[in-house]
Amino acid sequence: MKTLRLILGDQLNLSHSWLDQVNDDHLYLMAEMRQETDYVKHHIQKVVGFFQAMRNFASELEDEGHYIIYFKIGDKNNPQKLPELIKQTISEHKIKKFEYQLPDEYRLDQQLQEICRSIAIPSEAFDTEHFYTSRDELKNHFKGKKQLLMESFYRMMRKKHHILMANDQPEGGKWNFDQSNRKKWDGSPKIPKELSFNKDVSDLLEEIKNAKVVTFGNIDANNFPWPTTYEECKELLDFFCSDLLKHFGDYQDALHTREKYLFHSRLSFGMNSKMLSPKEVIDTVVDYYHAHKDEIDISQVEGFVRQILGWREYMRGVYWKEMPGYAKLNKLDNHNPLPDFFWTGKTKMNCLHKAITQSLDNAYAHHIQRLMVIGNYALLSQIDPDEVDAWYLGVYIDALEWVEITNTRGMSQFADGGLVATKPYVSSANYINKMGNYCKECVYSHTVKSGENSCPFNSLYWNFLEAKKAHFKNNQRMSMMLSLLEKKNKGELTELQERAEKIIQNPDDF
């Protein structure tokens, strides 16, 4: 009986049990589709990265003897849409059963369920065998509880999977070393040159252009830096352990104008495409730490583990618990348009110029650039979360909706009203100056609160608190800032509001 097995572009798991044995009756289907390139405008490096990784994956399966049906983006017989693709393949190859791995995006989950209802053959869904958790594990963990506290979920995960545990207690005597992970990098210790794979993707780039796929951002076709095979992902993981891990935790929140990556691993694209499993990543890092305890403090390792075992799995669980309604939440009622400089990087604010230009050039920014620079500005400017979501989903090579939307609409933009974050992640210029050197090279003064020379973050911050104070009146974590707001005299507050309004109305010319 011929069985068709669909593999999506973010399901590149060579260790999946489907692939344990070669069976001539199993046909594997993969496709580069306009459906996926066009639902939001993507960074060109993201499209190239996924297509190249998909092609490499398909080649490896063919080398192992599996039968692959693969459609490139420019193939004339590529239907470009998933329903037509599956039905066409079923008909042409006289398929008797359709199988697929559970997708991680809600829209694809719904689409595949509809496809299965519409075809006249049996179908079956399988787990991707990638995550530590099932879709419903977080929902079951928090059943009957009012708040979805990540720390509670993270501790449960540490215990369940016995990661960084000494019997039933956390290694190092603490569950969380976040207070140790907030150092400002000032040039020392030296940051090793990043590991880059420098591949020639000019032919693929030409195919994408010929297919008239609309993208944005920049790319060097002769030096594509991202890993697109399991072997390259593993090489990047080993490089992180040997060269970066010992300082990762200390400087994971740091900002610097001349350092894009600092001590970050850049493994998220490899994991989110499933070339690399989170379990292999954590096991490798923890094993390396245990073998080098004389060189590496546990705070460096715990901060890394928390991002993957805690935050990544937590965000996925929230996504499946709250979708589809989550994608429409706008609890703060923000509706301002996204400024043009999000697409160009051309703004006089140095922190935004650096973070956005880096994003456009590299399809990458680390979490503090995304949260406390770009996201902070978007929230303070009260930009519509729909527009913020679309930009974040498109610009970063690791962005898939299940992890992007909960981070952006939830943690960054507080559009979910506090489901993910207990308070909005907003700040004046003080935090940005504290964590990096962006402010030193800026035309605006981070110490001046109002007036033309003042950092826009300062007036935007107080204007936001005043505009949204009704939303936060019962939020204990906001009580101190609201108290400070109440103490401002009317004239000062009016001046701050007027300055903020000019910035919001003319974000590229203030």
Q: In this predicted model, what pLDDT tens digit does every residue of 342-386 receive, in sequence order?
A: 999 999 999 999 999 999 999 999 999 999 999 999 999 999 999
For residue 50, the one-letter residue type is F
Q: In angstroms, rounded to a whole number, what is the distance separating the alpha carbons of residues 214 and 6?
A: 26
Q: Which fold has domain 137-322?
A: 1.25.40
Decide if 301 contacts 164 (C-beta within 8 A): yes
CATH 3.40.50.620 intervals, the chain: 3-126
DSSP letters, 453-510, are TB-HHHHHHHHHHHHHHHHHTT-GGGHHHHHHHHHS-HHHHHHHHHHHHHHHHSTT--
In this structure, CATH architecture of domain 3-126: 3-Layer(aba) Sandwich (3.40)
State the greatest distance between any 2 C-alpha atoms of the chain, in Å, as a whole number. Answer: 79
The values of phi and psi at residue 278, to 5°, are -60, -35
Q: In this predicted model, what pLDDT tens digit does every residue of 449-480 receive, in sequence order?
A: 988 899 999 999 999 999 999 999 999 999 99
Q: Which helix (H) or strand (E) holds 237?
A: helix 230-239
Q: What is the mean pLDDT of residues 110-130?
A: 97
Structure token pair of residue 14? 């060579």
Decide if 497 contacts 463 (C-beta within 8 A): yes
**In the predicted structure, residue 185 carries a pLDDT above the cut 60:** yes
Q: In angstroms, rounded to a whole number, what is the distance separating the alpha carbons of residues 429 and 439?
A: 8
Q: In this predicted model, what pLDDT tens digit does every residue of 289-318 receive, in sequence order?
A: 999 999 999 999 999 999 999 999 999 999
CA 489 centroid distance within chain: 41
Cα end-to-end distance, the chain, whole Å: 67
In order of 75, 124, 402, the CA distances from 41 in angstroms are 21, 32, 17
The pTM for the full model equals 0.96
**In the predicted structure, residue 483 carries a pLDDT above the cut 90:** yes
Pairing mode, strands 169-170 and 165-166: antiparallel
**In the predicted structure, residue 47 carries a pLDDT above the cut 60:** yes
Structure token pair of residue 246? 């010992």
**In the predicted structure, residue 448 carries a pLDDT above the cut 80:** yes
Q: In angstroms, rounded to a whole number, what is the distance separating the alpha carbons of residues 47 and 311?
A: 25
**In the predicted structure, residue 180 carries a pLDDT above the cut 80:** no
Altogether, the residues listed in the chain come to a count of 510
Q: In angstroms, rounded to a whole number, what is the distance separating the alpha carbons of residues 252 and 407?
A: 17
- pLDDT band, very low/low/confident/very high, at 509 (cuts 50, 70, 90): low
Decide if 358 contacts 260 (C-beta within 8 A): yes
**In the predicted structure, residue 170 carries a pLDDT above the cut 60:** yes
The overall average pLDDT reported for the chain is 96
Q: In this predicted model, what pLDDT tens digit does every residue of 15-39 receive, in sequence order?
A: 999 999 999 999 999 999 999 999 9
Percent of the chain with pLDDT over 90: 96
Q: What is the mean pLDDT of residues 138-144?
A: 94
Pairing mode, strands 3-6 and 97-101: parallel
Percent of the chain with pLDDT over 70: 100
- pLDDT band, very low/low/confident/very high, at 510 (cuts 50, 70, 90): low
Q: In this predicted model, what pLDDT tens digit does every residue of 200-244 receive, in sequence order?
A: 999 999 999 999 999 999 999 999 999 999 999 999 999 999 999
Structure token pair of residue 379? 């929230």
**In the predicted structure, residue 9 carries a pLDDT above the cut 70:** yes
CATH 1.25.40.80 intervals, the chain: 137-322
Q: What is the mean pLDDT of residues 268-295?
A: 98
**In the predicted structure, residue 508 carries a pLDDT above the cut 80:** no
Q: What is the pLDDT of residue 504?
A: 95
Q: What is the pLDDT of residue 40?
A: 96
Q: Which fold has domain 328-505?
A: DNA Cyclobutane Dipyrimidine Photolyase, subunit A; domain 3 (1.10.579)
**In the predicted structure, residue 117 carries a pLDDT above the cut 60:** yes
CATH 1.10.579.10 intervals, the chain: 328-505
Class of residue 230 by CB neighbours under 10 A (exposed 0-12, middle 13-18, buried 19+): buried
Decide if 379 contacts 389 (C-beta within 8 A): no
For residue 238, the one-letter residue type is D
In order of 151, 175, 262, 466, 486, the CA distances from 309 in angstroms are 11, 13, 22, 37, 40
Q: What is the pLDDT of residue 1?
A: 74
